[in-house]
Chain A
Amino acid sequence: MKKNLLKIIISVVAIFIIGTFYVSLKKTEIYDTKNLVGTNLDNFELNSLNKKLKINQDLVKKSQYTLINFWASWCAPCRAEHKYLINLKRNAKNLKLIGINFKDEKKNANKFLSEFGDPYHYSAADSKGKVSINFGVYGIPESILVNNDLKIIKKFIGPLNQDEYTSILNLTN
């Protein structure tokens, strides 16, 4: 009697482990910080890239939606997504764009913006990169869509593509 119970337990454990392996084979999710979606932004403060203002969460509260974009002049994929940012500035009516220049030099950042266009309503500088950690950023480019309650609606890892651009337009209209 006891022996049969033991046999059943062992068989169940074996089946469970094999089943788990099988399911995890099917799942191939890459890590992303989706756990932040739905939470609120922490308060933050950065210096503006060129002007003398402070960029902080109050600016985010003023607009119905804000897209916070982390970028740098030395980042090649940032150039690739740039046209979408320009188009967003033009077409997304309820959306303001804040650009956070990451671990860059002011003159290189300004050169980039003058050469390729400035899609940002506000530009901030995070020269050591430390503030990006508060946003859960781990690579650039990354973009975070928030509403005026500082709630994170969506996170975009890597350069924006056509689909993501369209989804931002839809979400903010």
Chain B
Amino acid sequence: MKKIIFIIIFSLNFFNLNSDEKTKLHFEIYKNIRCLVCQGQSIADSNSEFAQTVKLVVKDKINEGKSEKEIYEFLISKYGEWIVYKPQFNKNNFLLWFFPYLALIFGAIIIYALIKKKENNKVN
């Protein structure tokens, strides 16, 4: 019985998804694109001429079936990497993405070394 209820609830949620998901996708993309004529806003938040135009273009491309990645690549080819907020994974930005994890590992090594030292002192 519980399983049936669970499945019903689960599937009911699915039907709400379609048009809301599409809007969500639009907004996800808008939020990742910089308004080039504003002081630090995405085109989702801005109402400048530029923001409105790019939103139209992005909407068209989504309807054409282009993927998120393709849309960003298109915009980057025209406006440079500065226009997207999520830095791309290329040789320029490699360090950017890896540095925090390097710091994490580095910290772990230090803590491990400190604990090991104590263990050694204990033994001695």
Contact = CB atoms under 8 A, between A and B. Distances in A.
Indicate if A touches B (C-beta under 8 A): yes
Interface of A: 31, 33, 35-36, 39, 103, 128-130, 132-136, 138-139
B37 A133 contact: no
B50 A139 contact: yes
B70 interface: no
25 contacts: A31-B36, A31-B80, A31-B82, A33-B78, A35-B79, A39-B77, A103-B53, A128-B53, A128-B56, A129-B49, A129-B52, A129-B56, A130-B56, A130-B57, A130-B60, A133-B75, A133-B78, A135-B78, A136-B78, A136-B79, A138-B36, A138-B37, A139-B37, A139-B49, A139-B50
Interface SS, A side: loop
Interface of B: 36-37, 49-50, 52-54, 56-57, 60, 75, 77-80, 82
Q: Would you call the interface of chain B mostly helix, strand, loop, or mixed?
A: helix
Contacts of B37: 138-139
Contacts of B77: 39
Nearest to A129: B53
A36 B54 CA distance: 18
Contacts of A128: 53, 56
A33 B49 CA distance: 17
Nearest to A139: B37
A134 B78 contact: yes
B50 A138 contact: yes
A6 B53 CA distance: 53
A138 B51 CA distance: 9
Task: Point out which of A129, A134, A136, A138 has the most chain B C-beta atoms below 10 A from its C-beta.
Answer: A138
Given A129-B49, A133-B53, 12 more contacts: A31-B80, A33-B78, A35-B79, A130-B53, A130-B60, A133-B54, A133-B78, A134-B78, A135-B78, A136-B78, A136-B79, A138-B79
